[in-house]
Every structure is written in C-alpha cells, then in structure tokens.
C-alpha cells in the first residue's frame, strides 16, 4: 500500500498529521472535540513500511471510534487496541482479498506483508485473527 493513499484518506477524513517525539510508542491518535491528529515519531518509524503500519493502525482507531486515555485501565486499552486493529484489517486487508491472494500463491505472512507494505508482525496478527474468526482460509 502506498503511503500517499493513507495520507489521502487522512486528508479526506480531516485528520491532521503531526511528526513529534513520542515516549513509548511510534504512533498515536489524538482526538478532542472535532480535532483529530495522528502523531508519528519518525525517529521510531524507519521507512515507509513502518510508517504505513502505524498509519493503518491509527486509522483503525479513528474508524472504530476506539479511543482511550493514557491512564485508562489496561483492560480498556487492550479492548480498544483490538477493536482498532479489527477495523483497520477489515478496511485495508479484507478477508476475501487475503483469501484471493493466498490462492494466487502469496501464502506466507512475509509475502502478504510485502504485498501490503506493512510490518510482518502486524500482518501476522491480522492473519491469526482471520484464521480464528473464519476458521481458516478455505
């Protein structure tokens, strides 16, 4: 996935992009009243693949309305992160599209991650979710 597509989606949704040093993460989304921004620490996101992964995951928060405060209980944070991931995966890596790619020979997580220009661990979580949700890829 080309980063320009993700920036275009952010522009269409009126989401600001901010590059700023972050303490313990490479990206985050901030939402207050009618202002939304995705903050990316470019010192922690080395290259397009890492940035794409951050942008997709943070756009998942936006699309799912999965927000939380930094001092939220761990259980709520985990729930919102999972909700955001599911929404991002459904939007950017649809199950049926993944199945078709697998039929065409892209059968490893690494191949799928390269196809979508995202980090392999993020794609692995997506594949694991789909495998469990839909009982495989048949």
Whether residue 41 has pLDDT greater than 90: yes
CA–CA dist 26, 9 (Å, integer):
20
Whether residue 3 has pLDDT greater than 90: no
Q: Are strands 35-40 and 27-32 parallel, antiparallel or unpaired?
A: antiparallel
Closest CA to 115 of 138, 97, 131: 97
pLDDT in tens, 10-34: 999 999 999 999 988 999 999 999 9
CA–CA dist 24, 26 (Å, integer):
7
Record: fold of 3-134: Zincin-like (3.30.2010)
- Token output for 15: 């989401």
Whether residue 60 has pLDDT greater than 90: yes
- Predicted pLDDT of residue 94: 97
CA–CA dist 27, 19 (Å, integer):
9
CA–CA dist 116, 122 (Å, integer):
11
Query: Average pLDDT of the chain?
Result: 95
Whether residue 118 has pLDDT greater than 90: yes
Whether residue 138 has pLDDT greater than 90: no
């Amino acid at each position: 996935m080309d980063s320009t597509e993700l920036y275009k989606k952010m522009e269409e949704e009126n989401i600001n992009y901010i590059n700023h040093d972050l303490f313990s993460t490479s990206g985050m989304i901030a939402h207050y009243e009618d202002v939304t921004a995705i903050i990316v620490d470019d010192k922690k996101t080395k290259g397009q693949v890492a940035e794409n992964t951050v942008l997709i995951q943070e756009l998942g928060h936006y699309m799912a309305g999965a927000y939380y405060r930094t001092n939220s209980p761990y259980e709520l944070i985990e729930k919102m992160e999972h909700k955001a991931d599911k929404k991002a995966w459904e939007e950017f890596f649809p199950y049926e599209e993944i199945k078709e790619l697998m039929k065409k020979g892209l059968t490893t997580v690494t191949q799928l991650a390269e196809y979508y220009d995202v980090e392999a661990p993020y794609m692995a979580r997506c594949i694991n979710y789909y495998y469990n949700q839909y009982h495989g890829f048949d």
